[in-house]
């Protein structure tokens, strides 16, 4: 399967194993991961997509609308989808108290000096139970035929495994998380055997202490005050 599908599948497998109830996908773009999670929801009750670019969000958001089959089949329990325009460098109170935040191919689109506020907002302020961060592994780039420079012209940086892991370990120290590293996309597929790691590197962060007791039921959920709600559907 193509690399982006492997990244989505990684998240779907995680959701299947750990069964988070409230999930945010940051930088959700055309809502492709959200759409997959909707079909494999495994107990997700609240699924939120956030992107700074409302144009891409609005283009595909109706693909999240309930299908006839959603009405015909007995429901899996309460399920709500919300889409917001907002930036991962801005704090939004209604994004706190989630079980999982995914940032698939997002951080490399931030100016390097903004990565600091990304860390503070996601790990310090939102402080979800778990965070999945994926980003290109720069060490893999020589295996990509014809590639000069970054993989995408909007990328502001691409990190080696060491650079990614150094950032991740610092985040863990500062905000009380543990991290494990993995990835998707392997060099063997291209006929190479050098140890360059995965094409996409992934950090899976777990909050260390359940010191934070959000105890927010959906009913008590705060109204958005910074991000703009663009779409909401209750199944």
Q: Which of 12, 23, 24, 29 binds ligand SAM (CB under 6 A)?
A: 29
Rounded to a whole number of angstroms, the minimum distance from the CB of residue 212 to ligand SAM is 23
Rounded to a whole number of angstroms, the minimum distance from the CB of residue 51 to ligand SAM is 5
How many residues in the shown chain lie near ligand SAM by CB under 6 A? 18
- Percent helix, strand, coil in the chain, to 5, is 40, 25, 40
For residue 51, what are the β-bridge partners? 85
Q: Which is nearer to ligand SAM, 77 or 121 (CB)?
A: 121
- Give the 3-state secondary structure of residue 64: helix
State which residue has the least CB distance to ligand SAM.
27
Rounded to a whole number of angstroms, the minimum distance from the CB of residue 167 to ligand SAM is 16
Instruction: Check binding of 117 to ligand SAM (CB under 6 A).
Output: no
Instruction: Check binding of 131 to ligand SAM (CB under 6 A).
Output: no
User: Is the Cβ–Cβ distance between 232 and 80 less than 8 Å?
Assistant: yes
Instruction: Check binding of 105 to ligand SAM (CB under 6 A).
Output: yes
Q: Which of 101, 106, 171, 196 binds ligand SAM (CB under 6 A)?
A: 106
Q: What are the φ/ψ torsions at residue 229 (nearest 5 degrees)?
A: -75, 125
Instruction: Check binding of 104 to ligand SAM (CB under 6 A).
Output: yes
What tokens appear for 116 in the block? 């600091």
For residue 136, what are the β-bridge partners? 200
Angle between the N-to-C axes of helices 3-18 and 32-39, in degrees from 0 to 180, rounded to the nearest 10: 40
Site for ligand SAM in 39-98 (CB under 6 A): 51-53, 56, 87-89
Instruction: Check binding of 35 to ligand SAM (CB under 6 A).
Output: no
Q: What are the φ/ψ torsions at residue 52 (nearest 5 degrees)?
A: -75, -20
Closest to 61 in 3D by CA, of 94, 78, 84, 44: 84
Rounded to a whole number of angstroms, the minimum distance from the CB of residue 30 to ligand SAM is 7
Rounded to a whole number of angstroms, the minimum distance from the CB of residue 215 to ligand SAM is 27
Closest to 23 in 3D by CA, of 8, 53, 45: 45
User: Is the Cβ–Cβ distance between 119 and 171 less than 8 Å?
Assistant: yes
Q: What are the φ/ψ torsions at residue 23 (nearest 5 degrees)?
A: -130, 135
Stretch that binds ligand SAM, among 93-101, 106-114, 187-195, 221-229 (CB under 6 A): 106-114
- Rounded Cα–Cα distance for residues 84 and 229 (Å): 5
Rounded to a whole number of angstroms, the minimum distance from the CB of residue 80 to ligand SAM is 20
Instruction: Check binding of 32 to ligand SAM (CB under 6 A).
Output: yes
Binding site for ligand SAM (CB under 6 A): 4, 26-29, 32, 51-53, 56, 87-89, 104-106, 109-110
């Amino acid at each position: 399967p193509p690399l982006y599908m492997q990244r989505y599948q990684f998240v779907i497998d995680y959701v299947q194993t750990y069964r988070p109830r409230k999930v945010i996908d940051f930088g959700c773009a055309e809502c492709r991961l959200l759409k997959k999670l909707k079909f494999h929801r495994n107990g997700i009750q609240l699924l939120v997509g956030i992107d700074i670019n409302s144009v891409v969000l609005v283009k595909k958001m109706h693909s999240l609308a309930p299908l006839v089959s959603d009405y015909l089949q007995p429901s899996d329990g309460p399920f709500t989808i919300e889409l917001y325009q907002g930036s991962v460098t801005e704090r939004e109170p209604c994004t706190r108290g989630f079980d999982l935040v995914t940032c698939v191919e997002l951080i490399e689109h931030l100016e390097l000096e903004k990565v600091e506020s990304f860390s503070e907002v996601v790990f310090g302020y939102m402080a979800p139970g778990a965070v999945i961060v994926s980003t290109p592994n720069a060490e893999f780039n020589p295996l990509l035929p014809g590639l000069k420079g970054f993989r995408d012209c909007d990328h502001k940086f691409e990190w080696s495994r060491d650079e990614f892991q150094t950032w991740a370990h610092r985040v863990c120290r500062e905000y009380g998380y543990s991290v494990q590293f993995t990835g998707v996309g392997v060099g063997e597929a291209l006929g190479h055997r050098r140890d360059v790691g995965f094409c996409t590197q992934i950090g899976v962060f777990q909050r260390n202490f359940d010191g934070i007791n959000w105890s927010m039921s959906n009913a008590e959920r705060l109204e958005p005050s910074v991000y703009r709600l663009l779409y909401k559907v209750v199944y």
